[in-house]
Amino acid sequence: MTKRSYDVAVIGFGPSGAVAAGLLGRAGFSTLVIDRDKEVYDLPRAIALDHEIIRLFDNMGLLAEVLPYTAPFTASEHFGALGQLIRRIDMVPPPWPMGYTPSLVFSQPPVEAILRRHASAQESVTVRLGTTLVGIEQDEDGVILQLRAESGEEESVRVGQAIACDGASSFVRRSLGIRFEDLGFDEPWLVVDLLLTAGTPNSLPKTSAQFCNPARPTTYILGPGDHRRFEIMLLPGEDPKEMQREENVWRLLTSWVTPESARLWRAASYRFHALVAAEWRRGRVFLAGDAAHQQPPFIGQGMCQGLRDVSNLVWKLMAVRDGAAPALLDSYAEERSQHVRTLTGRIKAIGRQICERDPEAARRRDEALLAGNGGRAPVVTRQDIVPPLETGFLDAIPHPAHGTLFPQPLVDGLSGPVLMDARAGTGWRLVLARDVAVPADLPGELRVLRLPPSDGVSGPCTVLSEQDHVLADWFGRHGVIAALVRPDHYVFGTAGDQLALEALVRRFAGCLHPETVAQEIA
């Protein structure tokens, strides 16, 4: 039997793999990371992030490094078949619920390099680049990886669990015989990245745009700095490889920009898919990122979804290591698969409208969108498109707030306002409104946070004096006095009164440690 060498192996060192390894290393897991590529891919791919992911980066201590490579995501104006404004997709207004700009564009190569450096710097993380996974097996004791170095030398390594972040053509997924389920979207597009030439004129829009022209649907995104992206639908009969040739790219862009005012950075043809793995877990092996799902890019959630995957999985691995019921790991696939399916369905609906090629159907689309908002172009926020968790490790008594992201206000710190996580930490939190008593017999995992009481503090807790009434408004809007928040900032459960709060805490303890609670009852 091969001796276990690591607690966890991460297969693939792209953004999802690097974040997974960084989180595992910070939690003290002995972690092996492998990737056949030695360097970060130096051309842009993903271009959008949201406030949930920025909060994750901040919790990892990386925000100051990442922010210089980001910019606010400008509103996306959708124009119809006749060039009229038919919809606007924008950000929620301040005060921002997570404390950060809700939607951002970013440059992937430098950000990915930051994520890799952070993971590699963790004492318990071993990174082996230029290493290919050529075989994977598992038994009741662990996972056996067959690795091949650049020299051709092979070795077997045993690990406790493996996380496959090895991309859309995942060797792990194919080796396990896990199929992709097709959610019904398959369109050919050309993605073009440009770098503007300073001081030269162009006819580019001043905000991001979606040209829903049935003759050729086209997306335009303002990236950070001088980066601009076009996503151009290819028409029947057009050869994708031919269309990405430089002369054809400039022909497609001629009404907006010319070679004199921009440099072609990348042109790549893709098929925009909507695919989800039929299984996300097979024994001790978990799929994450593009290995588990692919979706059209119309609201820029592809990379965000992969980072949600690994954030969700790693805190559950930590909890099980620290005594939580192993069944907690089953909720990873349950939660993430449903979340991806729901969001992909919403993105598909937007994508179908954008991709409409029939002129009469496009006219009806435009009329319906305007008529539904009194003749004006409706405004949709990107944050409202992203769904809450609908199932998984959530309180059994339903409430609309369950599975939503809990807000993060600015609160008083020692030397001025700081975001709540910096003041009170992360992990499991029980957040209380004013004048709510701290429950007795709290599980050891729970840290209690509360708004300032009017008559002194009851029980051990961290008092939060917020700046913009974000928490107070949240409690009022949802009609509750308490929220029990998970380590990934999703709401596990809520309580409307003191008795319900005591019951919520008991249910939480029973979910996280069912055997212990059962023994105490016995």
Tokens of 40: 């970060």
- In b/e form, how buried is each residue of 86-101, taking b as 16+ CB within 10 angstroms? bbbbbbeeeebbbbbb
Please give the C-alpha separations between residue 62 and each of 25, 108, 185, 208, in angstroms, as whole numbers: 14, 14, 35, 27
Give the DSSP H or E segment for 281: strand 281-282
Give the DSSP H or E segment for 236: none
User: What are the pLDDT digits (tens) for 454-501?
Assistant: 666 556 789 999 989 999 999 999 999 999 999 999 999 999 999 999
| Residues contacting 218, CB < 8 A, separation 6+ | 210, 211, 230, 231, 232, 233
Question: Hunting for tokens 């104006």 — which residue is that?
Answer: 77
Q: What is the DSSP letter of 488?
A: T
Residues facing 15 on adjacent strands = none
- pTM (2 decimals)? 0.95
Give the integer Cα–Cα distance in Å for 88 and 369.
11
Residue pLDDT tens, the chain, 522 long: 455 689 999 999 999 999 999 999 999 999 999 999 999 999 999 999 999 999 999 999 999 999 999 999 999 999 999 999 999 999 999 999 999 999 999 999 999 999 999 999 999 999 999 999 999 999 999 999 999 999 999 999 999 999 999 999 999 999 999 999 999 888 899 999 999 999 888 999 999 999 999 999 999 999 999 999 999 999 999 999 999 999 999 999 999 999 999 999 999 999 888 999 999 999 999 999 999 999 988 888 999 999 999 999 999 999 999 999 999 999 999 999 999 999 999 999 999 999 999 999 999 999 999 999 999 999 999 999 999 999 999 999 999 999 999 999 999 998 899 999 999 999 999 999 998 999 988 998 999 999 998 666 556 789 999 989 999 999 999 999 999 999 999 999 999 999 999 999 999 999 998 865 444 443
Burial class (CB in 10 A: 0-12, 13-18, 19+), 420: buried
